[in-house]
Structures are given as structure tokens and as C-alpha cells.
Amino acid sequence: MNINKSNPLLLHPLNKWMKKKKWSWFPHQIETFHYVRTGSDVVVFAPTGAGKTLTGFINPIDDLIKLKKFKGLHTLYISPLKSLANDIVRNLEKPIKELDLNISFQVRTGDTTPYKKQKQKQKPPNILITTPESLALLNSYENAKEFFHNLKYIIIDEIHTFLDNKRADLLSLNIERLQTFSTNLQRIGLSATLKNKQDAKKWLCRKKPKIVSYENSVLPKIKILESKERIPWSGHMATYSINEIYKEIMKSKLTIIFVNTRAQAEYMFKNLWLINKKKLKIAVHHGSLEKNLRLKVENNLSKGLVDCVVATSSLELGLDYGDVEKIIQVGAPKGINRLLQRVGRSNHNLNIPSKAILVPTNRFEFIEAKAAIEEIKKNKLDKIDLKEGSFDVVAQHIFATACAGQFNINDLYKEIIKAYPYKKLKLNDFKQLINLIQDGGYVLKNYDQFKRIFQLRENKNIYKLVNKRETRKYRMNVGTIIENPMLKIKLGTKTLGNIEEVFIQNLSQGDSFIFAGQVLEFQSMKNNLVQVKRSKSLISKIPSYSGGRMPLSTNLANSVRALLAKSNMWDLYPEQITQWLKRQKNISKIPKKDEYLVEQFPRKKNFYTVIYTFAGWHANQTLGFLLLRGFKEFNYKPLGFVANDYAIVLWSLREAKEIKTILNLGLLDKHLDNYLEETSIVKRLFRDNAIISCLIERRLPGMEKTGKQVLFSSDLIYTVLKKNEPDHILLKSSYEDAKKNMIDYDRLREILKKIDKKIILKKLTSISPLAVPIILEINRENLSKKETDEYILEDLENEILKEANVLSIN
Amino acid sequence: MFYQLINFGNEEFHAYPDKSLYWKRLNTLIVSDLHIGKSISYAKNKQFLPPYDTKEILNKIFVSLDKIKPSNLIIVGDLLHDVFSTLSLKDQDHKNLSQYMKNTDFIWIKGNHDENIQIEGFKNLTNYKIDKFLFTHIPIKTSLFQICGHYHPKVKISHRGKTIFKTCFVHNEKIFILPSFGILTGGLDIHSKQISDVLGKNNMSIYPVGQDKVYKL
């Protein structure tokens, strides 16, 4: 459309306010207004600072003013974070109050008081701002239909965060439910810039789908930290550059240092504190810290009361911290979208470029950082892969539906397959999920008298909840985010945050560790509280947090390969990197963009095979295991392997001569099941599946289960089920989840399909320069949990026997 | 299957990785805390665990009886999880049990879970005394050596930077606690107050149960 001809927004109720602020409407706001007004579902892509939130509200506010004193709920706004929801309310308040518009709006999240929630249900506001979980809860009430039947708009904020996970599945099902309640409902999605905009459109839009896009012409200024120090071969802690990082902090008014893990955050914070001679105000922020501590840091950040915050992805989304001048990314960027999101945290002004410095913590990361900068210059983004919806979320949704009243399974199935992630859901799988909610869905029918939902005798298609008490259980278990078992840390009576139970189990009384930027001494564990005191110890552990390890994106990986092969660029790199690559070229080879370099060399009596796949950590980990199996078959007597984002190294007693024969698609087909079986991947996902599908409960009123107990019983259930009913729907669901999320199945498949023609095999007499980083990562055993347990027991027993001078048992 | 030799009250016992204990001199097999029908008991609260625990527990017992062929089988309490548990015993299970009882005397001690439950053809006792040994679900005040269950002992082992939890046999000079023979049963840390109140803190002999072997710490 030609936006210059006429701007319909000049007649919009908010125009007066915009004028007063001396703001003008963005083209994408005009375009969105037009499309929505003419009945389209729209996804808007725009960078931060381009009035995205307002864009979502333009049509609802216009409509509400025209309708005059509309009673009841008109617009629903879905935010990915509770804190963002509160921020939205504050932003909406300004124009509505200043113009004295007759529009009511409220927030509803897990933090809203029961009293307020009750009042909202009796007298709903025109605009309700909420989260996917709160929406699911609202849909599970008996009067949900009346509550939503006049709903006109649903706005999904930061929709790019909702495209590829179980939360997205849950949200998609609940949007379809709203559409059933209110056929006039229109959908508006707000997103950061994406590569595959069409996918986001497919996910959300049904009516005359439209994409509105606004690209920022001002590119961020990103550079790599110029360090005089030696960049380490391996490692992830950036200790080498700490002084230079400190200098960068001093140069800017306000800096956010992003790191990739919570452990890195604590470590970086500790190291900065040790050299903090200028007494800069430095804070740390990550997801395990107590809410109050986090809020304090966020507050200080927005008021400009700190000089620097060390943060994980916990500060990636949402809130506008106007005064942040510089972003420092320590460690690999891993993906373009993620780096852009982080870089965008500085300077929320469209016309001024964001400033960022990348600090690679090892040599491969230097290449990765360089590649990321190139990609951003070319405006090339990562693709977000839409995934098929998970079964467990459907099960939870069935339970929620039953809580809202009796339902017809055919109608429910038809509604579910309208949701994009469930387009391909088979009727048979759906029925199994109905049975799962009914009585666990086992082949052995032992529970006929204990069903949770039952078929009506007069109509077998209609199911009903057995009693009201069950609704309470659903409400305690809603949602798709399952945390690892965590324990609260108490310093005196003050709660500092949550720490993984596994970490605490490895501590003894008196051990010290770093948390929330303080050195703490472990005193005791009582009633699931970890009591600590301050410590002056210099030796301390840093809690590790499992999960959340992001693999290198395919897009960035390709770019790293391309860059590595461009030898004419090398001279622009720091001397040490240039030398490293040149030596590699002389001794072995630098693989071309589409080649797979395989190096083999003897070292310390063993034979090493290094394969440079650049496939990301998940895929490489999987491939490593499969190769281990392959090596065993060829009798190479493999001893172990290590994988990182770029490569895999295996070592064996015999030389793997037939590596070219082993490395192909057959490897995946032959050994994958075995892999999933032997590692605890599926077992761990089974726990999430069992909780999300409400087979086991997270917690019950008056019977707080600790994380440990849930984990324990789900392991037992998994073992019993696997043995007796290997085709059970929850096992299938866990297996699918593993393929989708944990092992990068599709990515690995793609690589193995074409790898055999592109292998470059180099037989070397000793280790190559490119192989040094991964060889340095070899430090752990690669045994399954079962084997590890036996190994520990065996070893401990032997030690004790030796001590007691007893030769053997039995 | 390897067993671990345990000397308790000057008698020779064998601890098996299937969590049964064998008393050599009297050719007696001892098990505890089977919690048969735990799944069905959870199902009445709409927690639908896989309903295969009863079948698996009975199979385990039968395998053990076939192999060892003991004259007596002593169950030291909590054979059944609760009154609903009998629902999970099918006719065939009853038949199989009667078959085994022809060659082996079944002695069923009452536990806190099954003290008020009856099964046809089964007699249950509060406790049972042989020589200087008393079989009882929960230890009592006595000068006899006691063999008990109830606590489902587990031991936390930290070694070379790794921590694992293992089901275990544990005893002090006078009291022996068996692990749970059940399938869906949890466990209690032997250093918890409940167990150290019974065994004391320092004189425990601990035998963690591994995959195919019982270890000694």
C-alpha cells in the first residue's frame, strides 16, 4: 500500500498523544493498522525501539473507543515474561491516562493475588495482559467460554521466543481454544527480525495472513576485543583478558557483560571484583538468584546506579535499560539472532548504532566471533526451526479441557489439529493421550475403578472429569517449564537463590563455593534449605548448572567454515591466530567450506581420530557415541571420545583404518536406539514428560515433594514401563523429544547423508594445530551412568580393601 | 549371581543383588518391604503408575525361590502396600504362591502398611523368633539380634568428585536392616535421623547393592 497517500492513523485516538510527544507514526504501524482493520491476522517484525508494543495496541484502542464503553474482555496480550507483563502495563498506562481514555486494563500472572484474580473474573478489564500459563489456567475454568466470547484481539509479544518449544505448543492450543470461543478473534504477533518470517506467519495467522516488516538501516558496531595477551587454546573463562575487559568497563557509563552460563557469570564477577581497584559498582544477574536480588539489580540498572552488570540470558529479553552504552559478549556467540538480541540491549534508539565488544575465550571462538560479525554486516539471520508439537502438552491440554467441563473428543481433536504444531497429530495418538489422562493408558487394565475422566454411557464420545478435586491438581501442575531439582540457599535468614541439588550433594560441610557473587561456606542442609555462611576462603567451587547448553547455529557454523577457508583474510587476524591457521595449512589442511576434514595420528600409545563437522555440540555428542559403537564393531578398541561445537575426537587402541567406511548414514540408523537407551537422555526427558502430562505431580497441597523424590520415582516408572510396555505413548513422546531437542537428529542426518563423498582424510604423525583445542578438552570419562556407578563402587571398595589389607571378598 | 558374605550375630548370611538375604544354616531366605500393589494404591489418588509392579515383584521372588530352594521364606513386613493391594493379585498369582508354599514355609511378619490386611491361606505374625534372632518389621527393645525392614535404607557415596545414592543392606552389632525388595519403592538415607536413631551413627556396616553384585564399604 502507498503509505504516503493518506495516513489513517492521523485520526486515531492516540494521535493527539503522539503529537504532544513529538513522535510520528512508523510506516509499519500504519501498515499494521490497515491490515488488521481489514480483517487480517498479522505478524509484525521490527527491531527494539521501533514502537513494537504500541503497534500491537493500535487497533484494539481504536476499536474500543469506537465501541464506546465496551463491557468485558476485548483484547488479550500475551507476554513471555512476568516482568515484561508489568512493564507493558506501565507503558500502556501513559497514553491512556494522559488522554483520559475510557479503557480498563490489568495484568494477570502467577504473581497476581487470588483476590484480584477473582475480581478480574467477575468484572474483566477491556485489556488483559498475561502469560501463556495464566491463559491456560483461564481456559480451564468452567466459565471460560463466557469470559472470552467477546474477545476481539489476541496479541502475542516476542513471538519469536514462542516458535520452537513446548511453551509454544501450549500457547498454540490455547489460542485455538479462544478462536473456538470467539470466532471473530484476530491475531497479532510482534517479533524481532527473523530469517523465516513465513514460518512465524504460518504458526500464528489464519485469516488473510499478512507480514509487516520494518528493517533497521543502522547496523550495530561490533568488534572483537584487541588483546595483547595470548588467546588460550581451549577453555571458556576468558581469564586472560580480564584486565582489558575491566578497562572497557571503565570507558563506558554503563556496560552489560553477557556470558553463556551461570557458572561463567559467577566466575567473571569474582575475577572482576578481584581487580576492582577503582571501586566500580559491579553486579551479577542470573536466573538462579532470588527474585528480590534480581529485581534490585534490574532496578539499579534502569536507574543507572551501577557501572556494570554481569548477566546470562536472564537479561536478554524485554525491559528497556536506556542508559546501557556497551555490551560485552564473553564466549562464543553461538548464533546470530542471539548475539543481535544481546547487542540490542544497548542504546534503545533506532538512529544510534548499538555498540558491542566480543571476547572470544579460545581460538575457535575467535573465528566464530569474526564470522558472527560478518553475518551481521550482511544482515543474515539464523532460522528458527518450527517443530512438531509434543504429546505431553496435548495430554495436559486434555486435562485442562476436562476441568472446564465435559467435552466431545471429536470436537477437541478437530480444534487441536488447527494449531500449527499439531497439524499432523494422528487420531490414534490423540486417543492414546485421552487414555493417558483417563487412567495412565496402560495395556494392562488395572485401574478401571479409579479413572480421572470417564466416557458418558449415553455418548461414548463425551468425556467428563470424575470429580472437582482433580481441577485443583491440574492447576498445581500447569505449564511446560520443568526445573532441575533445586534447593534454596539461606545466608542467615536471607534467601540468596536456588542451587542445583546435584551440586550441593557433592559438597561436604566446610567446603566453600561462589554464589551471588559471594564466597560462601556450606554448613548444613535441613528441610531442603542449604544453610551457608560467609567465607574468606580463596579456594572455592563454582556451581555448575546442567542444561541450557546452546549448540552453535547451523547458519553461523556454515559461516565459520567459509571464513576458515578464506586464507586471504588470515593476515588481518591477530598474529597468534594467523600463525595457528598457517601451521595447520602446512602440517595438515584447512577444510574447504563443504569438506569434512578427518585427521588421524598416534599419540601416547593410542590412535586419535579427529572429525571436524562444525555440527554443534548436541549433534557432535551424538555422533561421537555412534562412532564409538562403530569403532567397537570394527574392533578398534575405542577408549573414549570428546565433542565440542566444532569437532569430535575419538581415541582407540587400534588405528581406525576404515573411518571412511564407518562414517555414513547407516551409522545413525544402526546405533541411535542404542544410544538413547544407554545414556540417560530419554530417561531425563521422560521425567519432564511425566510431569507435563500430569502422570506424576510436581507438588500437592500439603505434600511438598522435593525435586529429588520426583526424579527418583520417575526413574523407577521409566524402568518399569520400558520393560513392560515399550510402546507406551509417554515413551514415544520422550523419544520424539530427544530426537527434536537433545541430539539434533535432523542436523546430524543431513550431514551424514552427504559426508562420505566429502571426507578429506589426513594421516599425520602427530597432533595438528587445529586438533589441539579439542584434545585439551579430554578430561572426563565417557561412561554411562550405570557404568560410572559401578566404577565408583568398585574403586571405593578396592581402596577400602587395600586399606584393610584384605585381599578379596567371597 | 554373586553374593556378599555378611557375618551377623555369629551366623553366616548372604546378601544378594536382588535385595534378598539368605541365612545359610537354616536354609532361609529373607526379604522385606515388597509393597505389592503400590501402583494400585496410587491409582486411587489418580497417580497412574505403570501397573506392573506386582507382577515384577512376584517374578523376582519366584526366580529367587527357584534358584535357592529355601525351606523357609521370611517376609519382614510390608508385603502389601495397603488394603487395595490385594486387587492387584490375580487368581494366577494366588495359584503360583500356593505352588511355592508346598516346598517352602512362608512366614509373613506384619508391617505398618499391612498389619490389618488378610490374604486367604496366609497367616501373619507380629514378629517371629528363632534361636537368638528376632524377625520384626520395626526394631523393638530386646537383647536378641534383630532382623528388620521398614526403613528402605540407601547410602550416599561421594568419591572422586562424584556422588551417587545406592540401596543398601546395613547393620550394627545387634540390628540388621534389609533394603526394600519392591519395584516402585523409594529409599531413606542411612544417615538420616530415623535410621541413626536405630543403628547409632558410628558402628554401621554398609553393603551397597550394585548391578550384579553387593559391595562392602
Q: What is the pLDDT of residue A807?
A: 40
The gap from C-alpha A571 to its chain's centroid, in whole angstroms, comes to 37
Residue B160 touches chain A, beta carbons under 8 Å: yes
Element (H, E) at A283: strand A282-285
CB atoms within 10 A of CB B68: 17
Q: What is the pLDDT of residue B83?
A: 86
C-alpha cell of residue A738:
530427544
Beta carbons of A505 and B156 less than 8 Å apart? yes
- As a whole number of angstroms, the distance between CA A81 and CA A278 comes to 36
Residue B161 touches chain A, beta carbons under 8 Å: yes
Beta carbons of B5 and A810 less than 8 Å apart? yes
Residue B7 touches chain A, beta carbons under 8 Å: no
Beta carbons of B162 and A792 less than 8 Å apart? yes
Beta carbons of A442 and B161 less than 8 Å apart? no
E strand intervals along A458-603 = 462-465, 486-491, 494-500, 512-515, 518-526, 529-534, 596-603
C-alpha cell of residue B207:
553393603
Domain positions in chain A = 8-213, 221-377, 487-534, 554-663+756-779, 780-810
Closest Cα in chain B to A445 = B51
Q: Give the CA distances from residue A470 to residues A394, A435, A474, A681, B45, in Å, rounded to whole numbers and listed in that order.
A: 17, 16, 6, 31, 9
Q: What is the pLDDT of residue A511?
A: 82
A271: left (phi > 0), else alpha (psi -120 to 50), else beta?
Answer: alpha
Give residue B34's pLDDT band: very low, low, confident or very high (50, 70, 90). very high
Q: What is the pLDDT of residue A699?
A: 54
Q: What is the pLDDT of residue A741?
A: 78
Q: Give the CA distances from residue B188 to residues A393, A679, A796, in Å, rounded to whole numbers and listed in that order.
A: 33, 26, 21
Among A51, A2, A1, A47, smallest CA distance to A26 is for A51
- As a whole number of angstroms, the distance between CA A646 and CA A22 comes to 51
A442-480 pLDDT, tens per residue? 998 889 889 999 999 999 999 999 999 999 989 988 999
Residues of chain A with pLDDT under 70: 1-5, 318-320, 322, 347-348, 506, 527, 539, 543-549, 699-712, 779-792, 797, 799-810
- As a whole number of angstroms, the distance between CA B151 and CA B159 comes to 24
Q: What is the pLDDT of residue A515?
A: 86
Among B58, B126, B123, B136, smallest CA distance to B97 is for B58
DSSP helix/strand/coil, A532: strand
- As a whole number of angstroms, the distance between CA B17 and CA A810 comes to 14
> Which residue type is seen at A753?
K
Among B211, B213, B191, smallest CA distance to B14 is for B213
In order, the DSSP letters of A166-189 are HHHHHHHHHHHHHHHH-TT-EEEE
What is the least distance, in Å, from the CA of B36 to any CA of chain A? 14
**Neighbouring residues of A611: CB distance < 8 A, sequence distance ≥ 6:** A596, A597, A598, A623, A627, A647, A648, A649, A663
What is the pTM for the complete model shown? 0.88
DSSP helix/strand/coil, A353: coil
**Neighbouring residues of A140: CB distance < 8 A, sequence distance ≥ 6:** A400, A401, A403, A404, A471, A474, A475, A478
Residues of B in contact with A728 (CB under 8 A): 50
Q: What is the pLDDT of residue A715?
A: 83
**Neighbouring residues of A94: CB distance < 8 A, sequence distance ≥ 6:** none
Q: What's the angle, vertex CA A191, arms to CA A186 and CA A195, rounded to 5? A: 120
All structural domains of chain B: 4-208 (3.60.21)
Residues of A in contact with B3 (CB under 8 A): 810
**Neighbouring residues of A715: CB distance < 8 A, sequence distance ≥ 6:** A683, A687
Topology of domain A8-213, CATH:
Rossmann fold (3.40.50)
Top mean pLDDT of A782-786, B76-80, B154-158, B201-205 is at B76-80
Residues of A in contact with B214 (CB under 8 A): none
Residue B206 touches chain A, beta carbons under 8 Å: no
Beta carbons of B40 and A508 less than 8 Å apart? no
Give residue B64's pLDDT band: very low, low, confident or very high (50, 70, 90). very high
Beta carbons of B158 and A440 less than 8 Å apart? no
When the pLDDT of each residue in chain B is averaged and rounded to a whole number, the result is 92
Q: Determine how β-strand A105-108 pairs with β-strand A186-191.
A: unpaired
When the pLDDT of each residue in chain A is averaged and rounded to a whole number, the result is 87
Tell me the residues of chain B between 127 and 156 that have a Cβ less than 8 Å away from chain A: 156
> Which residue type is seen at A808?
S
Contact pairs from chain A to chain B, CB under 8 Å: 116
Residues of A in contact with B1 (CB under 8 A): none
Q: Give the CA distances from residue A511 to residues A538, A541, A543, A792, B156, in Å, rounded to whole numbers and listed in that order.
A: 11, 8, 12, 22, 17
Chain A residues within 8 angstroms (CB to CB) of chain B = 436, 439-442, 444, 446-447, 450, 452, 466, 470, 473, 502, 505-506, 508, 695-697, 709, 712-713, 716-717, 720-721, 723-725, 728, 786, 788-790, 792-797, 800, 809-810
Residue B193 touches chain A, beta carbons under 8 Å: no
Any long-range contacts for A651-654 (C-beta under 8 Å, 24+ apart)?
A651/A603, A651/A606, A651/A607, A651/A608, A651/A609, A651/A778, A652/A606, A652/A607, A652/A609, A653/A606, A653/A607, A654/A607
A260: DSSP letter: S
Residue B215 touches chain A, beta carbons under 8 Å: yes
> Which residue type is seen at A105?
F
Would you say the C-alpha torsion A268, A274, A278, A279 has a positive or negative sign? positive
- As a whole number of angstroms, the distance between CA A36 and CA A14 comes to 17
Residues of A in contact with B46 (CB under 8 A): 450, 452, 466, 470, 473
Secondary structure of chain B as H, E, C letters: CCCEEEEECCEEEEECCCCCEEECCCCEEEECCCCECHHHHHHCCCCCCCCCHHHHHHHHHHHHHHHHCCCEEEECCCCECCHHHHHHCCHHHHHHHHHHHCCCEEEEECCCCCCCCCCCCCCEECEEEECCEEEECCCCCCCCEEEECCCCEEEEEEECCEEEEEEEEEECCCEEECCCCCCCCCCEECCCHHHHHHHCCCCCEEEEECCCCECCC
Element (H, E) at A138: helix A132-139
**Of the candidates B4, B50, B157, which has its C-beta nearest A442's C-beta?**
B50
Residues of B in contact with A717 (CB under 8 A): 49-50, 184
Q: What is the pLDDT of residue A785?
A: 53
Please tell us whether the domain made up of A221-377 is placed in CATH 3.30.1490.110.
no
Q: What is the pLDDT of residue A787?
A: 55
Beta carbons of B39 and A439 less than 8 Å apart? no
